[in-house]
Amino acid sequence: MDLKVSRRGQVAPFYAMEVLKAANERAAAGVEVLHLEVGEPTTGAPRRVIEHVKGVMDSTHLGYTEALGVVPLRDAIARYYGSAYGVEVDPSRVIVTMGSSGAFLLAFTAAFDVGDRVAIAAPGYPAYYNILSAMGIEPVIVETGPEHRFQPTPELLESIPGRLDGLLIASPANPTGTMVIGPALRNLVDYCAERQIRFVSDEIYHGITFETPAETVLKLSRNAIVINSFSKYFCMTGWRLGWMVLPEDLIRPTECLAQNMFVSPSALSQHAAIEVFNCRDELDANVARYAENRRILLEELPAAGFDRLAPADGAFYLYADVRQLTNDSTDFCKRLLNEAGVAVTPGIDFDRERGNSYVRFCFAGSTEDISAASQRIADWLR
């Protein structure tokens, strides 16, 4: 007799992790691999954070915390919005979460019901689609392209038949690195406000920008949900800690959900994160390295044949149109790994309909690895 298996688990795998698995198997066999596939900093938490944590472990009882997070960390996050953006945020609106992934689960559960419809851009981070689908919320794909800078616009939203209950944007975005700023951001916020569409802003790559700073939607709306993370700019991926800034009507529902779903975020990670806000010099040095890596790839990839790249405003990605090289980006990435030892991610991860024509390069690694990878790619394509 077969027991029931929920359809919630019938979601696509995260292909970047599949590539990582294959790359690690190759490395375990003794073959060098240059990693440009997984989107995480290659540096660990700042030195001051590590030293701070040692003291915490010696002196602090690490039990459960409040479901919304420890007050000193919520206060520190609120102050960060003042120093980084000039925006005043009440600490009561700050909710600390189990990574940004936990934030998405809580936000989607608190804001939307089964059957609601939430618009997300394609290309985009695959977990948006998969989490929404697993929760019975309909992800409504907004196909974007170079003419839209790979971001949703009011015109694209207006063309969607039926109602929308939510819009999720990412700025800077994964996989494209593009941002929504200035009048474009204002127009999206106004469009959603006029139609009572809940606005969700993924800002986890804030702090990693190259020409123009990213803008938080908190400057424009008190009704938006803002999600951020300690994983990207703050280099604390394995600590699994994120946060949200919520509108007042979602604070108590989210608190009750967090109590039941997670009890509390990691106490040790929360104490560590308090100190990370004092490490801006070290963190900004990482961003300077990303900028150099970006410069190298923007010079070398077009010369190798990748001459159609999304504008890389921020984050640490380049999203390349590879139709002139292949019509199967998954196979292309497999061959690049097996024949040249360079791991990159196929676009199918980010766009189910058009992803076979794209690949994503992550340039969060060392400058030496990025230079070596660009040379290997060029040699492989000759």
Sign for the CA dihedral angle at 291, 292, 297, 299 comes to positive
**Do 7-45+281-381 and 62-278 fold alike per CATH?**
yes
Q: What is the pLDDT of residue 213?
A: 96
The structure tokens listed for 158 are 């207006």
Residue ranges of the chain with pLDDT lower than 50?
none
Q: Inter-axis angle of helices 47-59 and 267-276, to 10 degrees?
A: 140
The structure tokens listed for 246 are 């919520």
Pick the CATH number of 62-278 from 3.40.50.720, 3.90.110.10, 3.40.640.10, 3.90.1200.10: 3.40.640.10
204: helix, strand or coil:
coil
Beta-bridge partner residues of 244: 95, 227
| Nearest-angstrom CA–CA distance, 343 and 362 | 9
AA letter at 363: F
Greatest distance between any 2 Cα atoms in the chain: 61
Beta-bridge partner residues of 35: 343
DSSP letter for 209, please: B
Q: Inter-axis angle of helices 99-111 and 126-134, to 10 degrees?
A: 50
CATH 3.40.640.10 fits 7-45+281-381, yes or no: yes
Q: What is the pLDDT of residue 1?
A: 64
| Nearest-angstrom CA–CA distance, 44 and 58 | 21
| Nearest-angstrom CA–CA distance, 118 and 360 | 25
**Integer CA distances (angstroms), 350 to 102, 125, 173, 253, 286, in order:** 20, 6, 11, 31, 26
For every residue of 42-62, which 3-state class applies, written as one string?
A: CCCCCHHHHHHHHHHHHHCCC
Write out pLDDT tens, residues 173-197: 999 999 999 999 999 999 999 999 9
Beta-bridge partner residues of 142: 121
CA atoms within 13 A on the CB side of 216: 24
**Integer CA distances (angstroms), 160 to 119, 143, 164, 173, 186, in order:** 9, 10, 8, 21, 20
pTM to 2 decimal places: 0.94
| Nearest-angstrom CA–CA distance, 295 and 76 | 33
- Annotated domain spans of the chain: 7-45+281-381, 62-278
* 158-185 CB burial, b ≥16 within 10 A, e <16: eeeeeebbbbbbbbbbbbbbbbbbeebb
DSSP letter for 65, please: -
Task: Show Cβ contacts of residue 25 under 8 Å, excluding neighbours closer than 6 positions.
Answer: none
CA angle 74, 284, 75 (to 5 degrees): 10
